[in-house]
Amino acid sequence: MAAVSAAMVKELRERTSLGMMECKKALTAAGGDIELAIEELRKTSGMKAAKKAGRIAAEGKVVMRVADDNSYAILVEINSETDFAARDEGFLAFAEKVADVVFATKETNIETLLAGEVGDAREALVQKIGENISPRRAVVVEGGLVGGYVHANGQIAVLTQLEGGNPELAKDVSMHVAAVSPRVVRGEDMPEDVLTKEEEIIRAQPDMAGKPAEIVDKMIVGRMKKFLAENSLVEQPFVKNPEVKVGQLAKDAGAEITSFVRMEVGEGIEVEETDFAAEVAAQLKG
């Protein structure tokens, strides 16, 4: 069984707002798996969905390019090991160069990109800065009208694809996606495995115990409907005007939202956190 560290308990507390001992107990039962602990806590405590993992353990930048006629756009993420390197002029110039190449060629395969001029530029930059720097992923969205928004100095970027509408609407919707992070455009787009897992969690919650099956089924239908509304872009209240849902915002502008892509620096990357003081102490002791 994996050891439960103070850092893991701290992260679970931040994501669930539950007490320290409850978090530690849940982590111990889950063998140190934070996501499994959250799932079990949702079943036993009736807790709503937890916050996403707080600190993303990678640095870098997401760069966006949008065609002048809004017929297509690209996003590319470039990672560095430290935020210091991510602010370096050489790193920023490299990130812009990668974006230019992806925009011009529509090439999204990282290995292919690194086999050309991007790879040569990366090698020179790595030697100069002394850090592992590399493009991580790239995406091209084309068709209809495509617009986007870059947030937090390149830490988050979003592209939105519309049928109809205008670039300003695409930017507003992208800004909403950056802030709220919906899972899908519409409820019917939600993956079946996500729906199955959510229903399982709802069914296991304490207030379901002892109720007749037909009552439980009705409660599940209601809660699943709420879950889909909260996680579907078109059903969410627009961040700039909560009186209007995003779907209605698009409809009023004569548009329909086809798709969106949200890219955040480092999402999905796990890096072991080092306790600097402990590391120094260990070295002195050695």
Domain boundaries, the chain: 1-55, 57-142
Average pLDDT over residues 274-286: 47
153 has pLDDT over 80: yes
* CB neighbour class for 257 (10 Å; exposed up to 12, middle 13-18, buried from 19): buried
Measured CA to CA, the distance from residue 31 to residue 38 in angstroms comes to 12
Residue carrying structure tokens 């909260």: 230
Count the neighbouring beta carbons within 10 Å of the beta carbon of residue 197.
12
DSSP annotation of 232 reads B
pLDDT at site 280: 43
pLDDT beyond 50 at 54: no
**Residues 166-198: tens digit of each pLDDT:** 999 999 999 999 999 999 999 999 999 999 999
Of residues 91 and 269, more confidently modeled: 91
Is the domain covering 57-142 a CATH 3.30.479.20 domain? Answer: yes
For 94-120, how does the pLDDT look when each residue is reduced to its tens digit (9 = 90+)? 999 999 999 999 999 999 999 999 999
Q: What does pTM read for this prediction?
A: 0.76
For domain 1-55, say whether CATH 3.30.565.10 is its number: no
Q: What pLDDT does residue 279 have?
A: 45
Q: pLDDT tens digits for 8-47?
A: 888 888 888 888 888 889 999 988 888 888 888 888 776 6
Q: Could you give the 3-state DSSP secondary structure of residue 247?
A: helix
Q: Which residues contact 50 (CB under 8 A, 6 or more apart)?
A: 15, 16, 38, 41, 42
At residue 178's C-alpha, the angle toward residues 174 and 181, to 5°, is: 110
Q: Please say if the pLDDT value at position 276 is more than 60.
A: no
